[in-house]
Amino acid sequence: EPEVTQTPSHQVTQMGQEVILRCVPISNHLYFYWYRQILGQKVEFLVSFYNNEISEKSEIFDDQFSVERPDGSNFTLKIRSTKLEDSAMYFCASTSRGLGYNEQFFGPGTRLTVL
Amino acid sequence: DQQVKQNSPSLSVQEGRISILNCDYTNSMFDYFLWYKKYPAEGPTFLISISSIKDKNEDGRFTVFLNKSAKHLSLHIVPSQPGDSAVYFCAAKGGTSYGKLTFGQGTILTVHP
């Protein structure tokens, strides 16, 4: 069964460093998302992406964040200068185009630890 | 932001019995609701969904009920199995078909053998 994959599974970085989290969405999906979950809190929406541009972004997704689909398979989230409060699980999700509503399929997540 | 709320942080059930997980929402624009299951160190896994034009959707042991007037939905698992032990998230979507999901806080379900 096709699945969303994410790398790395765990990333440790120093405050102020740049990190890139990588995702390979399901191959025929066209809509891509990043969510995050700070320990003990809700899963929160960060950004959605379609047709090579951002469709929607949350207040969390400030100028420190960017997303890119550099080729036909990868979808990346970049944090330019990490802060302690960026420590969280980051989930990538994707969904297909189709009639009606479609569920989003999530990857296993990347645990980001900012020291 | 409390647009989707799961008021029970945890639920403990005996194997074979019914598990009922509840979710309330406040945003009238939500028109599609989903339940996800999550194991530790894994991403959320889609379980079942319901559109606002329905009041019930069933898939095997899982049934979701929607009460629009009360802005309430519930997930019933019958019979519960130990493998169902996980965190269950309610999520809601409104507007476009491909819009963001708004999640509840999750309920930890433990099914005892």
Residue of chain A whose alpha carbon sits nearest to that of B37: A106
pLDDT (0 to 100) of residue A101: 67
Split at pLDDT 50, 70, 90, the class of A24 is very high
Question: What pLDDT score was predicted for residue A98?
Answer: 61
B98/A109 touch (CB, cutoff 8 Å), yes or no? no
C-alpha span between A84 and A27 (Å, rounded): 34
Are the beta carbons of A45 and B42 separated by less than 8 Å? Answer: no
pLDDT computed for residue A71 by the predictor: 87
Task: Classify residue A47 by burial, with Cβ atoms within 10 Å: 0-12, 13-18, 19+.
Answer: buried
Of A48, A103, A108, the CB nearest to B43: A108
Residues 2-41 of B with CB under 8 A from A: 32, 34, 36, 41
Asked if A46 contacts A62 with a C-beta cutoff of 8 angstroms, the reply is no
Are A35 and B104 within 8 A, CB to CB?
no
Beta strands per DSSP E along B10-101: 10-14, 19-25, 30-38, 45-51, 56-59, 62-67, 72-77, 86-94
Judged by CB atoms closer than 8 Å, whether chains meet at A107 and B99 is answered as no
- Reported as a single tens digit per residue, the pLDDT across A26-50 is 988 989 999 999 998 899 999 999 9
CA distance B14 to chain A (A): 26
Q: Closest approach of chain A CAs to the CA of B12, in angstroms?
A: 19
pLDDT at residue A99 greater than cutoff 70: no
Looking at beta carbons, which residues of chain B come within 8 Å of A95? 98
Interval A11-26 mean pLDDT: 97
Question: Rounded to whole angstroms, how far apart are CA atoms B25 and B2?
Answer: 8
Task: Give the pLDDT means over successive 10-residue stretches in chain B (113 positions).
Answer: 90 98 95 94 93 95 97 98 97 83 96 95
pLDDT score at A100 = 60
Nearest to A42 among B32, B51, B103 (CB): B103
